[in-house]
Amino acid sequence: MHNKLRLKYAERFSEMEEPFPPGADFARNGFNSGIQDLTHIDVHVTSEHTICGKRYDAEMQQFYLHKEGNFEAIALLIEAEEGGDNQHFDKMLNFFQQKFDQDARMCDRKRQRARALFERSRISGSIRSNGGGGEDDQSPSKLRGGSINDQEPDEVLQDADYDTAASLSIGSAIYQTIHDRFLKLIQRRREASWERWDPLKPWDFYKSVHFWSYSGSLTEPPCSEGVTWRIVDVPMKISPTQLFRLKRLMFDHVDPNTCQLTSTHYEESNARPTQPYRGGGIHRCRRSDYASDMEREASGRVKGFVLEKKWWGVDNWPYVTPEFPNRG
């Protein structure tokens, strides 16, 4: 899309419908309301949220439609650093790369056809002007706004240069068709062997289950209110190469119909600027408030809450220090 990459999941109208999209558990009014379907994922460069004034290299936003009718959004901040190669993130980039390459090939084929048609028109016009066959022979080509006499004998068009250009055009088209079919065959075989991609995978994407939370809006028109945002307090890591690839997928994509760049960005960013504070509470879920089932199991704890100060300790595995741990 012009200001993001979007991975969209098929909408379900019943919990029995398949395929089952990924889902997350969001409580409401203190009661567990069950798993909510992931509707779509948006990726922006740079981040649309900041933590204590710090802006990150990118942001992945996961949107869920809650049963009560409002959107729940989880924002994963993304930071590029050397050695931060994220293989799970690479799988998502590969999906977008397929669309990127497909649209580029369609645009290239259109350019090739246009060049072949122009060359044919130019050679045809040259034959007419040099052949001297009457008034109709002097008419300009179709590409130059005129018309070509449809009654022209085929023998007149059998020019060696024209035959060469046409042969090259036809050969290129045949090669491109075979190439595309081969790539599709390989892709189908790869998809059959690929495992189900999990956008909620811990440690690769989710390095923490703790977050900041506030009630806000969508970051694009119609900017609807009533979106509950959760910003994970530990950013996911990717490599600088992956960040460069992400930017190329966003900024260099061409529309297959117009062959024009589709991206709208400014200074290598397509993120909405941070909005002024409009009031309302900003909450933070810390490790002292909640521990994940994985942490409880790894540390021999039982499920549930223990309402004691610092009940969870500091040496239990796995624990990731959040960004700006001593700030509100």
Range of the structural domain that residue 54 is part of:
5-86+204-287
Query: Residues 222-231: pLDDT tens digits?
Result: 888 888 999 9
Query: Residues 119-146: pLDDT tens digits?
Result: 888 777 776 666 655 544 444 444 444 4
What number of CA atoms fall less than 13 Å from residue 172's CA on the CB side?
Answer: 15
Cβ neighbours around 41 below 10 Å, total: 20
CA angle 142, 177, 144 (to 5 degrees): 10
Same domain, 220 and 247: yes
Residue 94 has a pLDDT of 93
Residue 119 belongs to a domain = yes
Domain boundary residue, one of 193, 222, 254: 193
The total of structural domains in the chain comes to 2
Domain boundary residue, one of 193, 222, 249: 193
Residue 233 belongs to a domain = yes
Task: Say which DSSP state 249 is in.
Answer: H
Structure tokens at 36: 């909510």
pTM higher than the cut 0.85 = no
Domain boundary residue, one of 163, 193, 223: 193
Of 106, 93, 101, 162, residue with least CA distance to 130:
162
Cβ neighbours around 98 below 10 Å, total: 12
Same domain, 78 and 97: no
Determine which of 94-103, 270-279, 314-323 has the lowest per-residue pLDDT on average. 314-323
Residue 326 belongs to a domain = no
Same domain, 120 and 183: yes
Task: Say which DSSP state 206 is in.
Answer: B
Same domain, 40 and 127: no
Rg (CA), the chain: 28
Same domain, 110 and 179: yes
Average confidence (pLDDT) over 318-324 = 72
Residue 173 has a pLDDT of 65
Lookup result for tokens 């390459």: 101
